[in-house]
Amino acid sequence: MIRTFVRRFAWAMLGAAIGLAVALVVYFGLAWILSGRLTAPVGEDPPGAAVAGVSLACALALGLVPGTRELEVTAARSLLGADAELVVPARETWGHRLRTAVWIAFHLVTGLLVAFCLFGLIPATIVIGTESVLGHTLGTRVPVPDVAAARVAVVLACVAGGVAAALGAWPAGALARRAAAWLLGPTTADRLEVALARQRREAEHTLLARELHDGIGHALTIVSVQAAAGRRVAATRPERAAEAFVAIEEVSRGALAELDALLGILRDDRAAAPAGGVADVVEQHRRAGLEVAADVALPADLPPILRRTVARIVTEGLTNARRHGAPGEVRLRVGHTDHEVFVQVSNAVSDQARVAGPGPAGAAARPSGRDGGRGLAGIRERAALFGGSAAAGVVGHDDGVRRHAAGAAGKDEGAGPSRTGGPPARDQARAGQDGAGFADDDGRWLLSVRLPRITAGKERDE
């Protein structure tokens, strides 16, 4: 409490010092004008109302000086202990300047009042109280009561008034702390700007988490699988164990390079290094023991950012197939039409999951992964960045992905969107209409992602 009182008193004295300097400059300036430029007699004191009015105008004008708001915000935070959100906008508007001017005028007036209480009222109460105790005047114009009881009452009043004047900085500081929240706090536009800045920071954190999940998390999955396989065959088939160790070395080296690229983004906002291509991702999973039947055909003019996104989606799809799918072949198809790029990953599911479907029951029937579903959410986010779409579910199930395969459009023409948030079935089927698709995928889990085809030339034009 004492520390708070001292800080509030220091804030008031800061305002008193500035306010007294302004008042003195105005007083002597007006006196010079009245004595040297106007018809007033030499030596005439300027009117008190004129001094007060011009001083107040000067105090308001201080709010227009650049950097003043920043100083006042710092003083309010450190001396008043203002816990409200005080802002120093990057671009000050006239609304900010006006509120800053009012705050400075309030600061100076409050400081002068506290100074008057300290250096005016307290000495006056001491002198008047002393006169009442002595029973005679000490040169003041305040009459000394003749009755002893009246003198005692005057002494008590002087003591109470002196204590109140000495503690005047406390209520003044409390009032200033409340006023700071309104005069130095954010406007509606400031709150919107702060919210947008917070949203950008959260988006950056989400991007970093997604990159770590897609890159480092999947690499660790392959490393753990290869390490377990190498341990089982180390004694009986040392050549297979050596292959597992080579795969671990390669995947770990790639993960370290990607981690270094992510740390570079955090350090100096460098662009992320390009990820490995789809062929590299497929080869890594094959070395880890996943049976992958891949059909990959990407256009040569695909920009690096879209190529990287496709590789990330393939990585997530194959990793989910390894973690949650039943044993068997995983089918990957990456292709394009004149207007879009599509990715399809199909894997077998257990009979229990096929019956339960893609809903909560199906999620419970499938092996639970440690990613808690963040992988599919990341795929949808990546697709949404390009204006694409993503759908996942059991093919042919009422609640899942109804048809993605070539030749299925005729059966589901006009079908509505699936509960997974994907596009209508006839749009999904269009992804496989230019070649052999997964015609026998009924009952299999299918991830289907469609992205608009953006060429490097279009990217440069934009």
Q: What is the pLDDT of residues 367-377, one digit of tens each?
A: 444 444 567 88
Report whether pLDDT(411) > 80: no
Query: Residue 77's pLDDT is what?
Result: 86
Query: Running DSSP on this structure, what letter comes out for residue 39?
Result: S
Q: What is the pLDDT of residues 346-402, one digit of tens each?
A: 998 876 555 544 443 344 344 444 444 567 887 888 788 778 899 988 886 554 444
Report whether pLDDT(418) > 70: no
Report whether pLDDT(36) > 50: yes
Q: Name the residue with higher pLDDT: 443 or 57.
A: 57
Query: Residue 211's pLDDT is what?
Result: 66
Report whether pLDDT(85) > 50: yes
Mean pLDDT on 47-72: 85
Q: What length does the chain have?
A: 462
Report whether pLDDT(205) > 60: yes
Domain boundaries, the chain: 2-186, 197-273, 278-462
CA-CA distance, 359 to 318, in Å (whole number)? 21
CA-CA distance, 105 to 111, in Å (whole number)? 10
Span of 88-92, 107-111, 290-294 with lowest mean pLDDT: 88-92
Mean pLDDT on 33-56: 68
Per-residue pLDDT band for 415 (boundaries 50, 70, 90) equals: very low
Query: Residue 39's pLDDT is what?
Result: 44
CA-CA distance, 340 to 451, in Å (whole number)? 5
Tell which residue, 419, 379, 414, has the closest CA to residue 397. Answer: 419
CA-CA distance, 34 to 40, in Å (whole number)? 6
pTM score, whole prediction: 0.44
Q: Name the residue with higher pLDDT: 265 or 157.
A: 157
Q: Name the residue with higher pLDDT: 195 or 114.
A: 114
Span of 8-17, 82-91, 137-146 with lowest mean pLDDT: 82-91
Query: Residue 131's pLDDT is what?
Result: 85
Query: Residue 433's pLDDT is what?
Result: 38
Phi and psi at 334, nearest 5°, equal -125, 120
Per-residue pLDDT band for 437 (boundaries 50, 70, 90) equals: very low
Query: Residue 410's pLDDT is what?
Result: 31
Per-residue pLDDT band for 245 (boundaries 50, 70, 90) equals: confident
Tokens of 434: 């230019």
Mean pLDDT on 74-96: 81
Per-residue pLDDT band for 341 (boundaries 50, 70, 90) equals: very high
Contacts by 207-210, CB closer than 8 A, 24 or more apart: 208/262, 208/265, 208/266, 209/374, 210/374, 210/378, 210/381, 210/382
Please enumerate in sequence order all residues whose Cβ is within 8 A of that of 125, keeping only pairs 6 or more positions apart, or say none.
158, 159, 161, 162, 165
Q: What is the pLDDT of residues 159-184, one digit of tens each?
A: 998 888 888 778 888 888 888 888 88
Mean pLDDT on 60-70: 85
Q: How would DSSP label each residue in 302-362?
A: --HHHHHHHHHHHHHHHHHHHHHSPSS-EEEEEEE-SSEEEEEEEE---HHHHHH-SSHHH
Q: Name the residue with higher pLDDT: 442 or 195.
A: 442
Task: Name the most confidently modeled range: 31-45, 149-163, 191-205, 418-432.
Answer: 149-163
Q: At what angle do helices 188-211 and 238-268 cross, to 10 degrees?
A: 160
Span of 73-77, 242-246, 356-360 with lowest mean pLDDT: 356-360
Percentage of residues in the chain with pLDDT exceeding 90? Answer: 9
Query: Residue 215's pLDDT is what?
Result: 67
Query: Residue 334's pLDDT is what?
Result: 94
Report whether pLDDT(337) > 60: yes
Q: Average pLDDT, whole number, for the chain?
A: 75
Q: At what angle do helices 2-36 and 94-116 cross, to 10 degrees?
A: 100
Query: Residue 426's pLDDT is what?
Result: 36
One of 3.40.50.1970, 3.30.565.10, 3.40.50.2300, 3.30.479.30 is the CATH number of 278-462, namely 3.30.565.10
Report whether pLDDT(202) > 60: yes
CA-CA distance, 254 to 249, in Å (whole number)? 9
